[in-house]
């Protein structure tokens, strides 16, 4: 049984240029995960569920757990001293860590501290998503906005935690996507899913169909295609949508499937955030052999971000399924490009 800590160190030793800083950041994330996991597990017993009554910069109601998770991850990263700044879904601006060790460090972290948080009150799986980049600005200075507005292709590492029927941490540093399951009696993550690969094609589609009338024509056509009866391709497919990106993504990664959050008439850029949600998930899915695009054949990871809280339409999953919906987008929605 290999623990997450052992695995990170083993991988560090395999790259001669590695200095241990990235391993230390992943160690800080692992520690914060355990704290958040412990508290999510007793969410019904203590006063940490429910809304704060405050909206975040994106106009979404913040849950108490959103802010709690945000604080835990930030504190763990700052204490480790290997990160010069963070940007998170819950804060309007990026945060610069200016003490001597942090300001000289090379990395920034972007994160969605609690994904799917509206599900927590009803005991459905939630998650954490993170993404790590090398800073562009010179060490020794406070971090700048440009350090955070890098395309996803520049990610050094990305991952998510799923607080589900078991707690798992899944991450990549560009050498495959690897999953670790927490043994709750020991509080230790063990390697359980090395080098995960998403099937090329699957039979699950995940989309909030309540928005159907506002979807682009290409997505509507694809959904009808998924629902048609057709022997050779095993259709109709199965519709599965939890409403926690991490959980929907994790299921589709293991079983094969597609997750779509398209633009809608009322949200022309979709709902999901490029920096905190789509880029890390795109890195993980590509490392597992899948695809992530904006529906118009543009690779998510190649988009150049222009603002921290930017949203983007998200088509992600088994490569053949993403190919198929893209041909339909091209045919029926190309004018919306
Ligand atoms: P968050 O809780 O971090 O704001 O993210 C919620 C996201 C994502 O987890 C999920 O896939 C999506 O919102 C669900 O949105 P809809 O309720 O519009 O389907
Ligand atoms: Mn989210
Ligand atoms: Mn969130």
Ligand 1: does its nearest atom lie under 6 Å from the Cβ of 117?
Answer: yes
Q: How far, in Å, from the CA of 331 to the mean position of ligand 3?
A: 34
Q: How far, in Å, from the CA of 245 to the mean position of ligand 1?
A: 6
CB neighbours of residue 282 within 10 Å: 28
Give the CATH fold of the 4-193 domain. Answer: Fructose-1,6-Bisphosphatase; Chain A, domain 1 (3.30.540)
Give residues with Cβ within 8 angstroms of 176, minimum separation 6: 194, 195, 196, 287, 288
Ligand 1: does its nearest atom lie under 6 Å from the Cβ of 70?
Answer: no
Give tens-digit pLDDT for 7-23: 999 988 888 778 899 99
Query: Comparing C-alpha atoms, which of 99, 91, 89 is closest to residue 143?
Result: 99
Give tens-digit pLDDT for 264-297: 988 999 999 999 999 999 999 999 999 999 999 9
Q: How far, in Å, from the CA of 277 to the mean position of ligand 3?
A: 9
Mean pLDDT of 192-205: 98
Task: Please check the confidence at residue 335 and state whether its pLDDT lies above 80.
Answer: no
8 A C-beta contact, residue 214 and residue 265: yes
Closest ligand to residue 266's CA: 1
Q: What is the pTM of this model?
A: 0.96
CATH of domain 204-336: 3.40.190.80
Report d(CA 19, CA 168) in Å as an integer.
26
Terminal Cα distance for the chain, rounded: 49
Pocket test for ligand 1, best of 161, 244, 273, 276 (most atoms within 8 A of CB): 244
Strands 167-172 and 177-183: antiparallel
Residue nearest to atom 19 of ligand 1 (CA): 208
Mean pLDDT of 84-95: 97
In sequence order, what DSSP letters do the residues of 35-103 get, joined into one string? HHHHHHHTTTTTTT-SEEEEE-TTSPEEEHHHHHHHHHHHHHHHHHT-EEEEEETTSSS-EE--SHHHH
Residue nearest to atom 2 of ligand 1 (CA): 116
Mean pLDDT of 186-215: 97
- Joined tokens for residue 304: 């150049």
8 A C-beta contact, residue 289 and residue 197: yes
Task: Please check the confidence at residue 337 and state whether its pLDDT lies above 80.
Answer: no
> Would you state the pLDDT for residue 32?
97
Average pLDDT along the chain: 94
Give tens-digit pLDDT for 316-333: 999 999 999 999 999 999
Residue 43 — pLDDT band, cuts 50, 70, 90?
A: confident
Ligand 1 atom at minimal distance to the Cα of residue 119 = 2
- Joined tokens for residue 325: 């919906």
Domain residue spans of the chain: 4-193, 204-336
Give tens-digit pLDDT for 99-123: 999 999 999 999 999 999 888 888 8
Pocket test for ligand 1, best of 59, 115, 270 (most atoms within 8 A of CB): 115
Ligand 1: does its nearest atom lie under 6 Å from the Cβ of 244?
Answer: yes
């Amino acid at each position: 049984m290999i623990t997450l800590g052992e695995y990170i160190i083993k991988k560090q030793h395999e790259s001669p240029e590695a200095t241990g800083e990235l391993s230390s950041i992943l160690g800080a994330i692992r520690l914060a995960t355990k704290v958040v996991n412990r508290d999510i597990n007793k969410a019904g017993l203590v006063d940490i569920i429910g809304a704060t009554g405050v909206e975040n910069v994106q106009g979404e109601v913040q849950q108490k757990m959103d802010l709690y998770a945000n604080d835990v991850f930030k504190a763990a990263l700052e204490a480790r001293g290997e990160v010069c700044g963070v940007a998170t879904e819950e804060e309007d601006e990026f945060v610069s860590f200016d003490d001597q060790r942090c300001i000289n460090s090379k990395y920034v972290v972007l994160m969605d501290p609690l994904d799917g948080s509206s599900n927590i009150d009803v005991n459905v799986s939630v998650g954490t998503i993170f993404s790590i980049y090398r800073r562009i600005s010179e060490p020794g200075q406070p971090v700048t906005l440009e350090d955070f507005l890098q395309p996803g292709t520049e990610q050094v590492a990305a991952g998510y935690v799923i607080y589900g029927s078991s707690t798992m941490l899944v991450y990549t540093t560009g050498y495959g996507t690897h999953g670790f399951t927490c043994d709750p009696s020991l509080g230790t993550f063990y390697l359980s899913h090395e080098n995960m690969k998403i099937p090329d094609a699957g039979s699950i589609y995940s989309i909030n169909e309540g928005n159907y009338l506002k979807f682009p024509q290409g997505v509507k056509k694809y959904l009808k295609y998924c629902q048609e009866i057709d022997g050779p391709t095993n259709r109709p497919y199965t519709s599965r949508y939890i409403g926690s990106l991490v959980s929907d993504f994790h299921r589709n990664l293991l079983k094969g499937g597609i997750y779509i959050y398209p633009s809608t008439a009322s949200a022309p850029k979709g709902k999901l955030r490029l920096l905190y949600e789509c880029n890390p998930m795109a890195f993980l899915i590509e490392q597992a052999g899948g695809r992530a695009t904006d529906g118009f054949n543009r690779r998510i990871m190649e988009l150049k971000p222009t603002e921290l809280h930017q949203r983007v339409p998200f088509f992600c999953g088994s490569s053949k399924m993403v190919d198929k919906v893209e041909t339909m987008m091209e045919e029926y929605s190309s004018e919306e490009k």
